[in-house]
Amino acid sequence: MPFASSSKRQISVPAQPKAWVDPSALPDDVDVDVGLIRGSAPDHVKQLVCNTFYSYGVGEPDVFGYGLGRATRFVQISVDPSVERGGRMEAVTVAEVTITKSMLNGAGMLHGGCVTYLIDNCASTPLVALGLMSGTNGVGVTQGMNVLFHAPAPIGTTLRISSSSISMGGRVMAARCEITDKTSGRVVASAFLNKMQPNTRL
């Protein structure tokens, strides 16, 4: 005669996907003074956005573009409902950097690769901010970029890099970016950026 087992059946719960990069796990960047950054985002969000930009986006001193990344400074980080999007949250970041000789091409103008580096890193930041405010991880890897070059920029020009979120889904996110000459307002480059959350279970 079969006997009853007293052991309970184990129920397996699928593991939640691990965040690609968790902004709250990154160290505070000592060069950031959030009191100098304008915008409606709370100070802790401004700090975490900067931590993600400098630690994950820029990296350590011996990696590509380190000097350019460290010279880039955020002047505004905002997260507000967008009238154009029916009240949905929209994040906006504005950063500035002054063109130095190391950023030039052979013709003495801002290098296209330099522009692309700035867009890739800066246009990612409104997605990080939006994710922090909405409880979603907005840090991903770049899936694609569409960059338009509008005008050259010589040494000494201060660039204003304005980025805003477009959409944030479960794994795919999008942002737009415009780089202008801060003094003249002339558009240097504009772009759309798509990012995605990598599958961390692989």
- Structural domain including 185 reads 32-196
**What are the pLDDT digits (tens) for 69-91?**
999 999 999 999 876 777 789 99
pLDDT recorded at residue 184:
97
Domains held by the chain: number? 1
**Average pLDDT score, the chain:** 90
- Whether the full predicted model's pTM is greater than 0.85, yes or no, is yes
* 14 part of a folded domain: no
**What are the pLDDT digits (tens) for 15-56?**
455 667 899 999 999 999 999 999 999 999 999 999 999 999
Give the CATH number of the domain where residue 175 resides: 3.10.129.10
According to DSSP, the residues that pair with 84 across neighbouring strands are none
pLDDT above 70: residue 134: yes
Three-class SS state of 137: coil
* 75 part of a folded domain: yes
